[in-house]
Amino acid sequence: MQPAAITMGCPVGVGPEIILRLFDSLTEQATLPVVLGDLGVLQRTAGLLQSKSQPVAWQLGQTIKLGTVPVLDLSHLDAEHLRWGQPVKETSLAMAKYIHRATQGALAGDFAAVVTCPISKKALHEAGIFYPGHTEMLAELTSTSRYRMMLAGSRLRVVLVTIHEPLAKVSTMLSADDILDCISMTADSLHRDFGFSKPRIAVAGFNPHSGEQGMFGQEEIETIEPALRQFTGEAEISGPWPPDTIFYRAANGEFDAVVCMYHDQGLIPFKLLHFQDGVNVTLGLPIVRTSVDHGTAYDIAGKGIADASSLRAAWQMAMKIAENRAQ
Amino acid sequence: MQPAAITMGCPVGVGPEIILRLFDSLTEQATLPVVLGDLGVLQRTAGLLQSKSQPVAWQLGQTIKLGTVPVLDLSHLDAEHLRWGQPVKETSLAMAKYIHRATQGALAGDFAAVVTCPISKKALHEAGIFYPGHTEMLAELTSTSRYRMMLAGSRLRVVLVTIHEPLAKVSTMLSADDILDCISMTADSLHRDFGFSKPRIAVAGFNPHSGEQGMFGQEEIETIEPALRQFTGEAEISGPWPPDTIFYRAANGEFDAVVCMYHDQGLIPFKLLHFQDGVNVTLGLPIVRTSVDHGTAYDIAGKGIADASSLRAAWQMAMKIAENRAQ
């Protein structure tokens, strides 16, 4: 198995710090990841944090030694003069480069997976790189038109039909075709990425009590139920379930994933259970891609208090998915 | 302190069963509740469940003995011929009577609180009693026009600005006045009912990421923020917070309650944490009223498997609120 490529994310966010914390916690040689980032920034951060792990330059094909942080050095930022939490054009161009190189390498088979540390959309835009976000950038770089966001943890997996939309508009954006597509992609991922032979997928309703036969809204009857009826794949699909109890049931083992109609329907329960160790998995890409489930956290970057749990979980999940796909 | 009155709820639902389970678990004389219900139904249920506690007729002013279930016998249903899960007109009229009598007694000071077991709205309607629900009935019986639903548990309290509304319409129903009223009633209850001298109340946003400065919706800017600015009471009020992380923060002790814009925003996290032991508290009534946080569960009624955790929690919370109000 090739190593996973961890992109360093914004050089002045928590990315460098959580990468070092991750390497400090590694004890096995077998599956060490590599970092696509800036060697100078990581070395400076290692000094600051008194990290046990030593960032070293690494090239494709070289062996990786436990105790080191192997870095494919893609930018040569002036580490001494960067300020934590204050991105500049150079740092933003650099973070885009890490993503480009990681994607290219994963497509070429050099990396088993891409694991991304957080970037700042705002900083990216200010540097003249116009993507709505990380995932859209990866989709374009891999020529992917159908992709979905899954949030995955040990107790709960949620997949979102709509994401960053005004809640008042979600109802008009829902379509049976789109919901069906989301269910199908969820089923495919549970098969291929997570190894379920017959995944159990719960589809959440949209309204309180799932509308109670149309009393509190029609979306279940007009849009969600038709989507459920059209599904013909290899999975146990059920719903639309009352949103207020379906996550409890899923978290207690009754379902392998919940398809959610809007951002907070899925994110509220997910963050309640997996605030520290949640993983963002992009479904539909030709490469394996996971991401930490938090932002650049500029307010705490460089203070030595960032938690690497989400990065560790993202890397472990990426390797597991890569193994499942290879079988 | 007077006893709390537990209304038996629908006689063919799980009410009788959870009442007996509650009394079976009581070990202290001091604060025994009384039941407003049907003696025959409870006696038959006690036989069926082999309950340790003996249902006995009870009248106002009589002492209450541990080991008994003191019943103010308000209906004389034909217990032998009722079928679990199959409400008839007589059972529905009876369950309404329990609520009437409990409310009257609480207003008169005979009961410290009213704790309600579940009723069926559908059965109530079929019997010609037209209330949207339990709470609306209690509001009318106590001539209350301002009331709110709080769901309370050991880790989380949520109060709902809107409840049983189609989600697509919630945006148009939100007003700064109504949100302010909900915040004020939450603050009053946290003071008076829960004993907080300076309660910390988080107000949730409406859109993903609380709209991100208007990018994903305007409700935060146009409606929620103005409500927050107008609050002048004795409480620490903050928000609008991104909905996907505020419940994690509240559940971990940062806030005493979260004011929620719509049903599932509050109910999804609440049920995830308090599926078994959640309590519904009605704010704004002149009497103390708590309720179990589940329905009649007709499918399992009479099978001896219903869980009394929510009723126990509702009764304990009602007594605690009554004590706090009496101070």
Model confidence pLDDT, tens digit, residues A92-136? 999 999 999 999 999 999 999 999 999 998 899 999 998 878 899
Dig out the tokens for A202 from the structure: 């719960």
A297 reaches B (C-beta below 8 A): no
A48 reaches B (C-beta below 8 A): no
B194 reaches A (C-beta below 8 A): no
Query: Mutate which of A161, A162, A167, A172 to disrupt the B interface (most B C-beta within 10 Å)?
Result: A167
Nearest to A248 among B164, B165, B275 (CB): B275
8 A C-beta contact, residue A126 and residue A96: no
B209 reaches A (C-beta below 8 A): yes
- Test A216 with B165 for CB contact under 8 angstroms: yes
Say if residue A29's pLDDT is above 80: no
Nearest to A265 among B163, B172, B268 (CB): B268
Report d(CA A194, CA A153) in Å as an integer.
Answer: 12
Give the model's pLDDT for residue A132. 79
8 A C-beta contact, residue B279 and residue B152: yes
Q: Tell me the chain A residues in contact with residue B216 when contact means C-beta distances shorter than 8 Å.
A: 164-166
Percent of chain A with pLDDT over 70: 100
Say if residue A82's pLDDT is above 70: yes
A245 reaches B (C-beta below 8 A): yes
A268 reaches B (C-beta below 8 A): yes
What is the rounded average pLDDT of the residues A201-215?
94
Nearest to B245 among A211, A271, A273 (CB): A271
Give the model's pLDDT for residue B291. 97
A278 reaches B (C-beta below 8 A): no
Give the model's pLDDT for residue B321. 97
- Test B167 with A273 for CB contact under 8 angstroms: no
- Test A264 with B244 for CB contact under 8 angstroms: yes
Out of 3.40.718.10, 3.40.470.10, 3.90.79.10, 3.40.50.10680, select the CATH number for domain A1-144+285-327. Answer: 3.40.718.10
Report domain extents, chain B: 1-144+285-327, 148-284
Q: Residues B267, B273, B275, B280: what is their CA dihedral angle, to the nearest 10 degrees?
A: -60
> Which positions of chain B have pLDDT values less than 50?
none
Angle between helix axes A15-25 and A39-49 (nearest 10 degrees) is 70
Nearest to A168 among B217, B269, B273 (CB): B217
Query: pLDDT, tens digit, for every residue of B22-70?
Result: 999 998 867 799 999 999 999 999 999 999 999 999 999 999 999 999 9
The superfamily in CATH containing domain A148-284 is Isopropylmalate Dehydrogenase (3.40.718.10)
Shortest distance between the Cα of A291 and any Cα of chain B, in A, equals 18
| Interface size between A and B, measured as CB pairs under 8 A | 109
Give the model's pLDDT for residue A43. 97
Say if residue A306's pLDDT is above 90: yes
Give the model's pLDDT for residue A238. 98
- Test A262 with B208 for CB contact under 8 angstroms: yes
Report d(CA B261, CA A5) in Å as an integer.
Answer: 41
Number of Cβ within 10 Å of residue A126's Cβ equals 13
A231 reaches B (C-beta below 8 A): no
Give the model's pLDDT for residue B283. 98
What is the rounded average pLDDT of the residues A22-43?
92
User: Using H for helix, E for strand and C for coil, what is the string for chain B?
Assistant: CCCEEEECCCCCCCHHHHHHHHHHHCCCCCCCCEEEECHHHHHHHHHHHCCCCEEEECCCCCCCCCCEEEEEECCCCCHHHCECCECCHHHHHHHHHHHHHHHHHHHCCCCCEEEECCCCHHHHHHCCCCCCCHHHHHHHHCCCCCCEEEEECCCCEEEECCCCCCHHHHHHHCCHHHHHHHHHHHHHHHHHCCCCCCCEEEEECCCHHHHCCCCCCCHHHHHHHHHHHHCCCCCEEEEEECHHHHHHHHHCCCCCEEEECCHHHHHHHHHHHHCCCCEEEEECCCCCEEEECCCCCCCCCCCCCCCCHHHHHHHHHHHHHHHHHHC
| Entry field: residues in chain B | 327
Bridge partners, residue A116, by sequence: A7, A291
Please tell me if the domain spanning B1-144+285-327 has the same topology as the one spanning B148-284: yes
What is the rounded average pLDDT of the residues A190-208?
97
- Test A263 with B247 for CB contact under 8 angstroms: no
SS3 category, A190: helix
Give the model's pLDDT for residue B153. 97
Report d(CA B142, CA B128) in Å as an integer.
Answer: 21
- Test A167 with B247 for CB contact under 8 angstroms: no
Q: Tell me the chain A residues in contact with residue B270 when contact means C-beta distances shorter than 8 Å.
A: 244
Query: Mutate which of B167, B213, B241 to disrupt the A interface (most A C-beta within 10 Å)?
Result: B167
Query: pLDDT, tens digit, for every residue of A135-158?
Result: 999 999 999 999 999 999 999 999
Q: Tell me the chain A residues in contact with residue B294 when contact means C-beta distances shorter than 8 Å.
A: none
Give the model's pLDDT for residue B29. 67
Give the model's pLDDT for residue A133. 83
Report d(CA A208, CA A224) in Å as an integer.
Answer: 14
Query: Mutate which of B209, B244, B248 to disrupt the A interface (most A C-beta within 10 Å)?
Result: B244
